[in-house]
Amino acid sequence: MAFVTLEKDGPVGVVTMNRPEALNALNIQVLRELDAVLDQAEEDESLYVLIVTGAGRSFVAGADIGEMSGFTAVEGKAFGVLGNQVFAKLENLSKPTIAAVNGFALGGGCELAMSCDIRLASEKAKFGQPETGLGITPGFGGTQRLPRIVGASRAMELILTARTIPAAQALEIGLVSHVYPPEELMPQAMELARAIAANAQVAVRQSKAAIRRGLQTDMTTGAAFESEAFGLCFSTQDQKDAMRAFVNKEKFTAFQNR
C-alpha cells in the first residue's frame, strides 16, 4: 500500500491516510487502497476497533481535484460510485470505527469522517463540503450523511454555501463528539477505542449493526432489528458469564467474545 496504512496496537487498528504531499487527497488509487485495507481489517478477528486518521496536517483535504478536473460525466459518475462503495463498506464494517480528525476534513474528507461511527477532532481541524464552489455536488455521500447527522437545515447551509467551519462549530452542531488539543487527539482516540474493545464484542457489533440499520428505516422496523440483536446475545457465553458475575456481585471483565 502506497497511501493507506494499517497498524495494530493490540485489539485496535489505526488506518492512516498517508499522502501528505497532497494533504491526503483521495484519488482512485487511494480509494482502492482504502477498500483493500478495510477488507483486511474486517477479516482480522484480533482487531476489535478501527481508528481512521491522516498523516501530516490534514485528515483528508478532499478528492483529488487535479485528477477530477478532466473527467467526463461518465467518469465523474464512476468516481462517485467508487467513493460511495468504499465509504459504505467503512460505514457497514462490523467493527466500530472512530475518525480522529487531525486537520482538514473537506469534501471527501468530511464524507470519510461521517462514514465512521464516532468522530473526534483536533482543535486545528476544519470541516466542510466545498464542492458547489467547484461546480459539482458532494460525491461520496455528503448529501445523504450530513443531513442525517446535523439536520437538513444545517446541512443545506454548509453544502450550498461551500463554507468551511472550525472544530468548535463542528462540535456545536453535532458533527463531532469531542474536540481536543492536537497532542491529545490520538491518545484520546486510543483510550476510547480501548474502552470499546474491553466490552463483549458480540454485543458491541450487534449494537452497532442495530443502530446503523435503524437509521435507515422506521422506528418499528428498527426496534425489530434490536429485538433480534438482543435475543442473539443471550446465546453467547459472554452474556452468561457477565450476568452470573453480576448476580453474584463479582467483578467481571474476562469476555471471551463468543
**Do 137 and 210 reside in the same domain of the chain?**
no
Q: Is the pLDDT score of 148 beyond 90?
A: yes
Say if strands 126-128 and 104-106 run parallel, antiparallel, or are unpaired.
parallel
Look at the chain and report how many structural domains it folds into.
Answer: 2
Calpha distance 51→124 (Å, rounded):
18
Q: What pLDDT, on the 0 to 100 scale, is given for residue 251?
A: 86
Catalytic residue among 7, 21, 42, 111: 111
User: Up-side HSE of residue 33: CA atoms within 13 Å toward CB?
Assistant: 18
Residue 256 lies in a domain: no
Residue 155 lies in a domain: yes
Catalytic residue among 131, 183, 184, 191: 131
Instruction: Give the relative orientation of helices 28-43 and 73-91 as an angle to the nearest 10 degrees.
Output: 20
The whole-number average pLDDT for the span 155-176 is 98
* pTM for this predicted structure: 0.96
> Is 191 among the catalytic positions?
no
The CA dihedral of 35, 38, 40, 43, to the nearest 10 degrees, is: -130
**Amino acid code (one letter) for 173:** I
Q: Mean pLDDT for the chain?
A: 97
Residue 254 lies in a domain: no
Calculate ∠ Cα 91-95-101, nearest 5°: 60
Collapsing DSSP to helix, strand or coil, 124 comes out as: coil
**Do 180 and 233 reside in the same domain of the chain?**
no
CATH number at residue 105: 3.90.226.10
**Percent of the chain with pLDDT strictly greater than 90:** 98
pLDDT tens readout for residues 206-255: 999 999 999 999 999 999 999 999 999 999 999 999 999 999 999 887 89
DSSP 20: G
Say if strands 12-17 and 126-128 run parallel, antiparallel, or are unpaired.
unpaired
CATH number at residue 227: 1.10.12.10
Q: Is the pLDDT score of 145 beyond 90?
A: yes
Q: What pLDDT, on the 0 to 100 scale, is given for residue 1?
A: 80
> Is 123 among the catalytic positions?
no
Residue 255 lies in a domain: no
CA-to-CA dists, residue 68 to 85, 115, 135, 249, angstroms = 18, 22, 12, 60
Domain with 53, as residue range(s), is 4-197
Calpha distance 32→4 (Å, rounded):
9
